[in-house]
Structure 1
Amino acid sequence: MTLYFASVLSGLEYVLSNEINNKVSDSEIIQINRGKVFFTIAESFTCLSTLRSADNLFQVIDQFQIGPHKKHLSQVSDRISQLDLDFIDHKDLYWVNASRKGKQTYSRFEVAKKAMEGIKKRYAEWNIGTSQNHQVEFRLDIEHHNVIFSLRLTNAMFRFRNQNRRFSRASLLPTVAHAMVWLSDPKWTDIFVDPCCGSGTILSERATYPANQIVGGDISDPVTKIAKNNLDDSMAEVNVWDAKKLPFATGYVDKIVTNLPFGRQISPDEDLELFNHHIMNEVCRVLNPNGRAVILSESVNQLFWEAKRLGLFCLKSYSLSLKGVNPTLFVFEKQGEHRRE
């Protein structure tokens, strides 16, 4: 069994662990830390590419302990110089990124340098690259006395999906959008709607799963044009609409996933509380009985109140730290006895 860890936005660790358990056969969650999920699998790395809520994926190479003072840095180079790294391809240029948490007297840069010296000691033919120019990237994380040395398996394309993708103002990271989609429990029969789709990130992530219909919209015509370009090869449909007056019959929609605008993202002359009030009314109206709504919002107290008023049951909530604000991710279910046939 090989030990891996996935980095994830803080607050979404248990969402990612659920995705791992459901998508990766024979996986076992070993530990969940802030921003990290450790797990073992017997399969090759290829199966991990389906974990779209993860920011990056790493293979753990070694774990050991280190003292807190500069005199202890030699422990890093000595330990790493003993590691067998022959399994790694493309060894021309390597780099080590380091992080530390605790009361050490050395910096993360000093730790990284010692780690690179340790690799060089054993593999003299390998060359040290730069942070911007390398083929192989290692990661060394120190938390108090504990050290994890790992190999990074993913690059920026894994997290951002597509270099050609355009993002509108306040766009979600694809990994966060995917966590929201995953919480909606995607089914092939879903009629799925994002009322405030922006550049289409949530729609794009939902389009990675089969669906009956995927529809999104935004009040801004320029933004919807960006979304249409981003979604050109998917089955998602994008419209210009007012999210407070959705063009769907009552009880028509199975799943709604959306990132509600935060205060500075709506027009200055619009009342945010009233805006949220109208949107929540529409969410409840168009959802079918037992339909699910996954909503990201900074208006935490209001959404709890609106949901209670409308009979939307809060299954889960997750507090996030995102772009300097602290929104909450809600998972609501509409109360009802029968689903739409």
Structure 2
Amino acid sequence: MTKIFILTTRGLESISAAEIAELDGVTVTETSYRRIAAECSGSLAPLLGLRTVDDIYLDLAHWEGVFHTRDMLAQFNAWSDRLDVQQAAINCRQVRPIPLKPIFSVSVSFIGKRNYTADEVKNSVSDSITFTHGWTYTADDREANLNIRVFVEHEEAYVGVRLGSHAQHERLYKMVERPGALKPTVAAAMLRLVDVQAGQRLLDPCCGSGTILIEAALMGASIQGGDNDPEAIKATRVNMKDAGVQGEIEQWDARVLPLRDGSNKRIVTNLPWGRQTFVNEELGSFYMQVCGEMERIVAAEGRIAILTSTPDLLHFNYLQLIQSLEISLFGQNPTISVYGATR
């Protein structure tokens, strides 16, 4: 039985836990702030297919008594002497090649104030592993064969080794970024919230660089989307090509969509919001018109998921709010709102 912990976006913990629990041989044992603990009795490879999580780590240790004082730096070093990083490397070799003497990096994150820095903790941990195992440390995660993560939560710390070669939220198809581009894991979570199925038609009327569309296509959906910005259309097409997916992409005004009434069962979109982007008009008027178009073209049994930091601007005549979920993104706290038809 291999113990793992998985990091996700704040607010998406329950969605990620549900996705993890669907894997054969994987049991979720705990769900907390941004972190999900689980046990895997079979192959680790299917874990790398998770779409809603930020990162996956093999569980190395759980340290208690992590205080804010500087003498903790010596304690971090002593605790690290006992980390079984050799077994973690063996487990990682199930899914990717790892040298016998790997290059490693260390990542550290805190909840709560400390009298020491993340870099000082990195040095304490890396010095121990370098001395004990003869591995080579690098400060650049991109150069490392293995990444060791120390996740400090108040007076506890969870330590793990990243299973994959890169963070799970990093998608290789994201070749072209645009202002306001959506985090792929959030896009995948939004699609799960409206239960997008293979073969189902999925529309994103404000597609930006195409993240929602690509994630939906990788789930087997038939995708259609557009944007009023020609550069966004170019970015979407480049990213779709890199992802190896196809769909209908058009330049259009989301307030006047060239689509039939009731023609889409699922609509998922990241509307312009907050500091991430802007529209050249009053936001309330834009939202009202776009909501009117989405309401017109959604099927009677359809679902709509919208991400915005101003959910109070969303207005529909007959669609009802089914679910509302606040998350952390871009240093802000936007909301995913799910609407459904009642007619």
Q: TM-score, normalised by structure 2?
A: 0.88
Structure 2 residue aligned with 1:138 = 148
Deviation, structure 1 residue 67: 4.8
> Paired residue for 1:228, among 220, 229, 237?
237
Encode CA deviations 1:306-341: one digit per residue, 9 max, x unaligned: 13xx221222111123223332111111113xxxxx
Structure 2 residue aligned with 1:258 = 269
Question: What are the equivalent positions in structure 2 for 1:1-341 lying under 5 Å apart?
Answer: 1-22=1-22, 24-68=23-67, 69-87=69-87, 88=89, 89-90=98-99, 91-102=101-112, 104-123=114-133, 125-132=134-141, 133-156=143-166, 158-162=168-172, 165-211=175-221, 213-232=222-241, 233-262=244-273, 265-268=277-280, 270-303=281-314, 306-307=315-316, 310-336=317-343
CA contact (8 A) 1:6 1:58 kept: yes
Q: Tell me, in whole angstroms, the C-alpha distance in 2 between the residues paired with 1:108 and 1:221.
A: 42
CA RMSD, 1 decimal? 2.1
Closer/same/farther in 2, CA of residues 149 and 273 from structure 1, 3 Å limit: same
Q: Greater CA deviation, 27-36 or 62-71?
A: 62-71
Deviation, structure 1 residue 155: 4.3
Deviation, structure 1 residue 103: 5.2
Q: What amino acid maps onto 2:154 in structure 1? A: H
Structure 1 residue aligned with 2:94 = none
Q: Tell me, in whole angstroms, the C-alpha distance in 2 between the residues paired with 1:297 and 1:67.
A: 37
Q: Name the SS for the 1:86 alignment partner.
A: helix
Deviation, structure 1 residue 26: 3.0
Q: Tell me, in whole angstroms, the C-alpha distance in 1 between the residues paired with 2:234 and 2:164.
A: 30
CA contact (8 A) 1:255 1:293 kept: yes
Q: Name the SS for the 2:86 alignment partner.
A: coil
**Could you list the runs of 5+ residues in structure 1 that have no partner in the other structure?**
337-341
Q: Greater CA deviation, 231-240 or 259-268?
A: 259-268
Encode CA deviations 1:134-191: one digit per residue, 9 max, x unaligned: 2221112222332221101234464231266101221111111111122121112412
Encode CA deviations 1:177-208: one digit per residue, 9 max, x unaligned: 11112212111241211011111111010011
Aligned length: 328
Q: Tell me, in whole angstroms, the C-alpha distance in 1 between the residues paired with 2:102 and 2:164.
A: 18
Q: What amino acid maps onto 2:290 in structure 1? A: I
Encode CA deviations 1:81-138: one digit per residue, 9 max, x unaligned: 2333323133332222223334543333222222223223421x32222235322211
Deviation, structure 1 residue 251: 1.3
**Could you list the runs of 5+ residues in structure 2 that have no partner in the other structure?**
90-97
CA contact (8 A) 2:145 2:165 kept: no
Deviation, structure 1 residue 223: 1.6
Q: Name the SS for the 2:180 alignment partner.
A: coil
Q: What amino acid maps onto 1:83 in structure 2? A: L
Encode CA deviations 1:189-245: one digit per residue, 9 max, x unaligned: 41211011111111010011123x310011122221221122123122101111112
Q: Tell me, in whole angstroms, the C-alpha distance in 2 between the residues paired with 1:17 and 1:66.
A: 27
Closer/same/farther in 2, CA of residues 13 and 280 from structure 1, 3 Å limit: same
Identity of matched residues, %: 29
Q: What amino acid maps onto 1:61 in structure 2? A: L
Q: TM-score, normalised by structure 1?
A: 0.89
Q: What amino acid maps onto 2:77 in structure 1? A: S
Q: Name the SS for the 1:138 alignment partner.
A: strand
Closer/same/farther in 2, CA of residues 240 and 41 from structure 1, 3 Å limit: same
Q: Name the SS for the 2:85 alignment partner.
A: coil
Encode CA deviations 1:286-315: one digit per residue, 9 max, x unaligned: 111120101111222122xx13xx221222
Q: Tell me, in whole angstroms, the C-alpha distance in 1 between the residues paired with 2:116 and 2:31.
A: 27
CA contact (8 A) 1:29 1:39 kept: yes
Q: Name the SS for the 1:225 alignment partner.
A: helix
